[in-house]
Amino acid sequence: MIDLQKGRLGVDEAVERLRILPYEDLGFAKIDHQRQLRRGFPEVIFCPGKTVAQITAIIDRLAATGGTVLATRAGENIYDAVKNKYPQAEYNRTARTLVIRAVEEPQPVGLVVVISAGTADLPVAEEAAVTAELMGSRVERLFDVGVAGIHRLFDSWEVISKARSIVVAAGMEGALASVVGGLVACPVIAVPTSVGYGANFKGLAPLLTMLNSCATGVSVVNIDNGYGAGYTAALINRTGDDKNR
């Protein structure tokens, strides 16, 4: 609870709001408008399994609050369905993200570095980068630096060494997370991707690699979950600026 922690609200008052502040009930969905208050970022729309009508209805409700709207795994048809009504909407084809920015955007702070092992990992890496930026982080992208040509990584040493947190997106065997993790002193968020030959088993191989990393300080999110990686990296990055903690 961001505000809580800064002392603007007492704990009791917050718990009370936790009961009272209404979410918005659309029948098929209950929008958690209180999430910005409680967790520091509004509810995000994960599109798969939802109809276009459901998604646009949720977007309308979130946009009405004036906060940031983020839809992930959004097909281009979602963008087509909203771009007239929200001309300020931004669609990122690689990341498959739809964004409607809040009126008052924070100044980017700190540094999150997003690293990808190969070109095919870009959709996941880009989703992480978009998410971290939207949450107020300065982001540097470093793509296609897999361990088969590890000198490409060393060449970017300067930017890597300045990061407060790092996202590593890698498919195949995902070894890049261990190599990066062994070199840096900040937390590494590893996100396995489902890119690879048969025994990649849709991301299982890099998932296990990253969980078993011999380099400490590496923690892992779900396969292809660029959004979750970017979110966690941005949370960590924010810790460096939260002087009240």
What residues from 132 to 191 belong to the interface with a second copy (CB under 8 A)?
143-152, 154-155, 157-158, 161-162, 164-165, 172-175, 178-179, 181-187, 189
Coil, strand or helix at 22: coil
Return the range that interacts with a second copy (CB under 8 A); candidates 75-83, 84-92, 96-104, 193-201.
Answer: 193-201
- Is 23 a binding residue for a second copy by CB under 8 A? The answer is yes
- Is 130 a binding residue for a second copy by CB under 8 A? The answer is no
Q: Which is nearer to a second copy, 87 or 114 (CB)?
A: 114
Choice from 13, 15, 66, 77 touching a second copy (CB under 8 A):
15
171 vs 187: CA distance, rounded Å = 20
- Is 223 a binding residue for a second copy by CB under 8 A? The answer is yes
Give Cα separations from 9 to 12, 20, 57, 131, 233 (angstroms).
8, 15, 32, 28, 26
Site for a second copy in 90-129 (CB under 8 A): 110-111, 117-122
- Is 67 a binding residue for a second copy by CB under 8 A? The answer is no
- Is 201 a binding residue for a second copy by CB under 8 A? The answer is yes
Residue that has been written with the tokens 């509810």 in this structure? 43
CA 55 to chain centroid, in Å, comes to: 19
144 vs 199: CA distance, rounded Å = 21
139 vs 68: CA distance, rounded Å = 18
Coil, strand or helix at 228: helix
- Furthest-apart CA pair in the chain: how many Å? 56
Residue 220 CB, shortest distance to a second copy, in Å, is: 5
CA 186 to chain centroid, in Å, comes to: 18
- Is 52 a binding residue for a second copy by CB under 8 A? The answer is no
Q: Which is nearer to a second copy, 111 or 129 (CB)?
A: 111
- Is 8 a binding residue for a second copy by CB under 8 A? The answer is no
